Structure 1
Amino acid sequence: MSDLLDARSRRAKSTFLYPLLLLLLLACYFPSIISRALVEGDRYSKSCKNTIQGRHLLADDQGYVCGVLSINPLSGCCPQTSERFSCQGCNLSSQCCDSYEFCVSCCLNPSQTVKQLAVKMKVAKHATAGTYGSVFNYCTGRCRHNSASVVHENAYASEMHHCFSSQLNSSGLVMPHSEVESSDISIIIARKGESCTSACRSKGQTCILRRLLDLNKCEVLQKYLSCKGACVGSIGSDQPAEVIDSAPRHLHPGACLFTTKWAFLSCDGSHPYTRRLCPCA
């Protein structure tokens, strides 16, 4: 009889404990589930344009790149966990890429394309041609193959034939920007230890990453900075820049520095002993 009572008691306890444990689990995890759902719901409530044509990849108008099976079929958006503003397979100097989708994603990066210029650019050269109207339309239009990227009618001028630069010559190669002709940017000398992102923002502008290549030359550095300690090739995300006079001797006080590794070029880089030369727009 006592065994029967004990069994009933255990069943009663378990019947009470299981719902209690379930309530505790819900209390712990429910807020995070709801929060995540709200974030995703907010993203997917805003429909996206995307490149549509890719067999394996897509790029949406927020700059995300994802596999075709990852795209949200209702919103047309890539997951936010995807790569954003990715320049994978791109040459930032020529602004050309080996993949259409990454070309569009890279082009959508505000540091690569100035919105005010892109939306006003004509789709074609003739006088009656309309403008792109949006950065996404500009990027998808520029990154497609065009006659300037083809030679002999059936061969590409380069493996990187998806280009978003607005300056293509007849050979399909990007015409280099002349520093003297940089009417679309303001060249600003940042304060000691300040990044170009911060220096441009203080002027109500944005740092243009691709134009750092134009400034990463001794002749340009020597025009805007004193470069009393010569011009030295270096490696660092704070370059091109000038080393301040009060810097330790091993850092070459007064010297101008240009980076020999383009991959290190960054609008966000800074160093406590340098003043950066920044392209802003």
Structure 2
Amino acid sequence: MGRGLGLLLVLLLVASSLSCLVSGLRPITAKTVWFTECDNTVETRDNVTDSNGVLCSREKMNYETGCCDAFGGQAGDCSRCKANECCDRYEHCVSCCMGSDKTEGYMKNPETFKVVRHPETGRFDTKWDYCTGQCRTTPMSTIFENMYKDLFHYCYGQYPMPQQTVVQLPREVKVTLGLRGQSCKATCESSGMRCAPQYFEAINLCEIVTEHLQFKCKYCKIGRSGPAANSGGPVVQSIANAGQLFDGICYQEKKIQNFDCDTEVTEAFNRVCPCT
């Protein structure tokens, strides 16, 4: 009798553990927890944003409906967001996104996918799906693959790219795009400047190319081999079918010892040059 009861308790514990595991694999939304009316950013700590776009403190959230109190929250709260549609808090990003009149247009764009550049991931079904998905940080939010570009790295724009605040160039350095095949020496001289090789390492980043040249990189690659290798520094390759969001491919020079002002590249590439 005692052994049978003990076995029953063990089975119940196992079943409970499996149930929790399966539940943990599902997205945390009103459909998978106890809320009856609203989805919300249930995983955020101090504040939440509900699926009406209202942001409130947890004390002002109705734990039955999942909605923020009508008099205790703020709809479309962009108070912690920049003009570039990036915020320093996830829940503020979602709220600002839900209140933006641009969001519907972003969703309808044929090149908007659940993961940027990956059409196989599908499209967002609702405004809430878009805002909660797009506001999450992505590799485009980081630099050197291990740190955020900016404190404001939760972005809801169609091209969610935070401002790059980690690497700051001296004011006298002008990042200049050469003509196809042109060396950096010729590029800088054509603008009445000189190539400054000591700054090649600082500009050898796809983020610098995007920030200073407004060249949007569809892919960021290391020029290890092929025609982009040994280019003397970073180069870009414009491609016709890059789409509305991108201009082409960016290549970073792999070897510091290859940085050089005089190197000419093939006609397929444009050098990115530090001029002073």
The answer, yes or no, to whether TM exceeds 0.5 is: no
Could you state the TM-score of these two structures normalised by the residue count of structure 2? 0.43
Q: Which has the larger radius of gyration?
A: 1
Could you state the TM-score of these two structures normalised by the residue count of structure 1? 0.42
